[in-house]
Amino acid sequence: MCGIVAYVGKKQAHPIVIKGLKRLEYRGYDSAGIALLNGDLNVYKKKGKVSDLEAFIEEKNLSSTIGIGHTRWATHGEPNDENAHPHFSGSGRLALIHNGIIENYSSLKQELENKGHQFVSETDSEVLIHFIEDIRENNDCSLEEAVRLALTKVVGAYAIVIMSKDDPDMLIAARKGSPLVIGLGQDEFFLASDATPIVEYTNEVVYVNDYEIAIIKDGNLKIKNTQDVPTTPYIQTLDMELEAIEKGGYEHFMLKEIFEQPKSIADCMRGRLNASTGHLVLGGIREYANKLEGAERIIMIACGTSWHAALVAEYIFEELCRIPVEVEYASEFRYRNPVINEGDVVVAISQSGETADTLAAMELAKSKGAIIFGVCNVVGSSIARVSHEGAYTHAGPEIGVASTKAFTAQLTVLTMIALRVAHRKGSITERKYHELLVELEQIPSKVEESLKLNDKVVEISDIFKEARNFLYLGRGYNFPVALEGALKLKEISYIHAEGYPAAEMKHGPIALIDEEMPVVFIATRDSSYDKIVSNIQEVKARKGRVIAIVTKGDVLIPKMADFVIEVPAAHEALMPMVAVIPLQLLSYHIAVMRGCNVDQPRNLAKSVTVE
């Protein structure tokens, strides 16, 4: 995943593009570059952060009212100055920025080299801009038409923006499989991978759809598809505040987002749930609600943290709704010729709403007659548009690469959907329904209480910051929490960690346990409590060092564990939203103490929009 940003209008483009790149740096931070048109088409690019690019261009001529910029997460070619974007065409009269992968670039490159084209980078993106120029020259057509023809020949995913030295007030953009949004200002346009660079300037945006090309010229926006059919831009209003994408006094976005969870969970429920009246309405799943309630099975598809949320939801749906649930990695589901029957319900879960594997899995399921429900955070995202129905999590922008508030927000929405289905089916009693509504409504305050454990977690983090391995164990609803805790630690501290069902410990992982091995147990009071106590004793018998997440007031486990973190009591189906908080804090503080880049961990991107 990379970040692209562009501007054309009456203002100076350079400061707008650079600020936009900083806002998008969570999407890619291997290298950055900018192209400006001021008599000549100038491209400046540098390996490293946007700050490295800023230092590099400090003495350059940056005057221009049109510009494109890019922050890269490497796919083709290592991070260096040559592979950074923007890329020139062969003549140097065109410059392109690109997010995505051109899968048939190798054959295109060979064809172009046979014609005499020379390339200075290892990227597929440079091949694309050469290909576009080659088509324009050989067909004697406009740049707009050359872009359209080229995009009918390329295979893969892309969001692109192109500048031309010959058209000093024109930008051409297009997308397929990678996000692109256009902000509409007063005689000016802003283009970006998401709304974060745009919200400061305008709240009117157009989300470009797959196979669409946007031409901005002479102060006008025209959109057509790759079949040359004009389409009418659908203007939407951004529901995002500038302060939501600032750190707000926190050292890192990740810490801010961890501490935002009482609000983000409450925002998920606002207007949807009122426990005192028994009110639970999800407007996004009305039309197909009967399909969901009558489903013979539900397939949940997701990746990463969203997959862990789906695992928790599997327990919830099967217990409350009595509907069989299968949880699938989207990346595996799409390639293994899955059995999908007409009328099956597929629930696709994604923070960004742009995850490439999840989108491809959705399209596959949809083609076989499945009903698609989307659960995502970003309004106007691809998953939201592909779904038949669904629900937004309303968690607000999540900038930190390691997902935190998205996880609890997804669980909130999935729990509400399960409760609504169970109530309408009659698979739970009226009394249990109301009890769970009350419990769910109290989760934000319980998360707030859990966040007060921060100082305790800091102390534990300091003790274990040099550990080389961690083992996370849980049972039932807390097993996916163990997986999520291990993932968080791996992502941002680079410590090897594994999550397991506690009962599976004896089937292999117990061989790893010694006095050097920290073992984190999610051991809150639930139906598996007695079993988890036995598992803790087994670890202690082998000199393992136990960190236990327990229910407040527990008197048994604190006698066995080396370190105890007490969280408020909650219904076991809802406990994952509470128990995950200290695990998020543990991973954060260990990473900070190890000097890791918490918001931009190495090799990772926020949203995987390419395979």
User: Phi/psi at 425 (nearest 5 deg)?
Assistant: -75, -25
> CA quadruple 110, 114, 120, 124: dihedral positive or negative?
negative
- Give how far Cα 205 sits from Cα of 48, 197, 324, 391, 538, Å: 30, 12, 40, 21, 57
In terms of DSSP H, where are the helices of 47-123? 50-56, 105-114
Which residues lie below 8 Å from residue 105, measured CB to CB, with a gap of 6+? 76, 124, 127, 128, 154, 156
Six token digits for residue 453:
């454990």
> In 145-159, which positions are buried (b, 16+ CB within 10 angstroms) versus exposed (e)?
ebbbbbbeebebbbb
User: What DSSP assignment string belongs to 248-262?
Assistant: TT-SSHHHHHHHTHH
Cα–Cα distance measured from residue 311 to residue 326, given in angstroms and rounded to the nearest whole number: 9
Q: What is the DSSP letter of 204?
A: E
- Give how far Cα 525 sits from Cα of 318, 471, 532, 551, 569, Å: 20, 20, 10, 6, 8
Annotated catalytic, 596? no
- Could you tell me whether strands 518-522 and 469-474 are parallel, antiparallel, or unpaired per DSSP bridges? parallel
> Of 13, 81, 78, 16, whose CA–CA distance to 41 is shortest?
13
Annotated catalytic, 606? yes
Cα–Cα distance measured from residue 523 to residue 533, given in angstroms and rounded to the nearest whole number: 8
Pair 454, 265: CB distance under 8 Å: no
Instruction: State whether residue 117 is helix, strand or coil.
Output: coil
Ranges of beta strands (E only) in 304-416 are 325-329, 345-350, 371-376, 389-392
> Within a 10 A sphere around the Cβ of 490, how many other Cβ atoms?
18
> Of 389, 347, 390, whose CA–CA distance to 365 is shortest?
347
Active-site position among 2, 321, 376, 596: 2
Cα–Cα distance measured from residue 211 to residue 75, given in angstroms and rounded to the nearest whole number: 22
Active-site position among 256, 405, 490, 606: 606
Pair 231, 225: CB distance under 8 Å: yes
Q: Hey, which residues are catalytic here?
A: 2, 606
